[in-house]
Chains A and B, each alone.
Chain A
Amino acid sequence: MTLSTNEIFDQICDIMQPFNQKSVDIKQETTFATDLELDSLSVMDMLAAIEDHFDVTVPLNILPDLETVGQVAEAIKNILDE
């Protein structure tokens, strides 16, 4: 079964809840650094949780391009479709 980007986004939002200490309402354009105020360590832990949930590898090489939750959902979609 292939997941849609929206389904992936919803699942990512669930995974992110423990990291969302400021209880920000997460949208596609929510950014990790500015909106969620996550430090690089928390971002890494969160990405590890996302990798494990979807059973995918998110290479370090693409991280600089991922600033928003929507972009991560899109990247996971692309990796799953490969």
Chain B
Amino acid sequence: MTLDLFEKFDATLDSFNQLPQGDLNPFTVKMDEVLSPTEAIINGRKTILAGTNNYMGMTYNEECMEAAENALRNFGTGTTGSRVLNGTYYGHKHLEETLKDFYDADHAIVFSTGYQANLGVIATLAGPKDYVVIDADSHASIYDGCAMGNATVVRFTHNDPENLEKRLARIRKKDPEAGILVVIEGVYSMLGDQAPIKELAEASKKHNASVLVDEAHSIGVFGKTGRGVAQEQGVEHLVDFIVGTFSKSVGTVGGYCVSNHPKFEVLRLVCRPYVFTASLPPSVVASATKALELIKDSNLRVKLLENSMRLNKGLADAGFEMGTTGESPIAAIIIDTQERAIAYWQRMMQEGVYVNLAVPPATPNGLNLMRCSLSAAHSFEQIDYMLEKFIAVGKELGVLG
């Protein structure tokens, strides 16, 4: 009797099978039509999209769509090649130039996804004799970058500069010459909290460690010209590498890393997730470039944070236990059990509001969340509708007293 390779997933499959199947399963929901950045037809019903990370509403921006259409007509549907072979077109270089301008940085490299950007940069920069020191609440792509590389991986307590410093001091005492890469995120996606980059980066510099900030959820959202939390906090000079994604504020797909390190470009030769994958389609690259130009001069982030504050404040005033404060585009309420969170999610869908069911291990501290990510494209009417439904379902399910 041969061992079934899938046996190890039985527990996962069992718990998945306990969820209602079909239309109201949070992991198999399908959007039949997408009407705008904030509305889709799901299960035959017009539904407000309240959890898509489409912070700027760029997916339907006229200028971005026009740029994508032109690129599609002029360069075709795909590159069918890696960046280092036949997959570098005019558009890819232009996008990298745009990124350098956007960040005022010497170098920029574009990856095919944000996940691959973290995977590639972390796994490649930190070699066998080096250390990667990561925040305990890091995104899966950061953990996977660590797992793919050969460095020694050390975790520090979430957003705790003192705890980081202690760990760096210990590494230095044992290994004065080792390369150290400290990895943090500008905004943590589940609870929307910002990293205290200044304190974390100063602790890192004290022990001669390099600092990488993942601005996936903060590009476009924070900073005077939308560069992210490092710009917002005025600490870009303390950051060595910025990683980000085009799949949220930029409204398409792809990832990037920017840096002023003089040898940065060598990554194009040694970074396997960059070398051994097909490059982004020309239409994607064109819309990302246009979106970055728009984000730089946009005041959409003001509207976005107004929207977020409106929902966060409304939920807090209604008496929900909040996971977020409204200072980022995330609004999340804490639900006591996973069963109730699933029921909540289903009732919100029936009421025409799509939110994120966020449960461990995707969440910190074992929390069950109803998570929303706001968009600058949401109207106040849509937000008030979400709020009304949140309160009605909360009362119905006994989440609100």
Q: Are A44 and B152 in contact, CB atoms less than 8 angstroms apart?
A: no
A57-B170, A57-B171 given as contacts; is B366 within 8 A of A41 (CB)? yes
Contact with B along A36-60 (1 / 0, CB 8 A): 0001110010001001100111011
Q: Are B366 and A60 in contact, CB atoms less than 8 angstroms apart?
A: no
Contact of A57 among B136, B167, B360 (CB under 8 A): B167
Q: How far is the CB of A30 from chain B (nearest CB, A)?
A: 22
Q: What total of chain B residues lie within 8 Å of the partner, measured CB to CB?
A: 18
Q: How many A-B residue pairs have CB under 8 A?
A: 30
Q: How far is the CB of A24 from chain B (nearest CB, A)?
A: 20
Q: How extensive is the interface on chain A, given as a class?
A: 10 to 19
**A61 located at the interface, meaning its Cβ lies under 8 Å from any Cβ of chain B in the complex:** yes
* Chain B interface helix/strand/loop/mixed: helix
Q: How far is the CB of B86 from chain A (nearest CB, A)?
A: 37
Report the nearest A residue to B364, measured CB to CB. A41
How far apart sit A24 and B365, CA to CA, in the bound complex (Å)? 23
* Chain A interface helix/strand/loop/mixed: helix
Q: Are A60 and B170 in contact, CB atoms less than 8 angstroms apart?
A: no
Contacts of B170 in A (CB 8 A): 51, 55-57
Q: How far is the CB of B160 from chain A (nearest CB, A)?
A: 10
Contacts of A44 in B (CB 8 A): 136, 155
Contacts of A55 in B (CB 8 A): 170
Interface set, chain B 153-178, CB cutoff 8 A to A: 153-155, 157, 163, 166-167, 170-171, 174
**Could you name 17 residue pairs across A and B whose Cβ atoms are closer than 8 Å?**
A39-B360, A39-B366, A40-B361, A41-B365, A41-B366, A44-B136, A48-B163, A51-B170, A52-B166, A56-B170, A57-B154, A57-B167, A57-B170, A57-B174, A59-B153, A60-B155, A61-B153
Interface set of B (CB-CB < 8 Å, partner A) = 136, 146, 152-155, 157, 163, 166-167, 170-171, 174, 360-361, 364-366
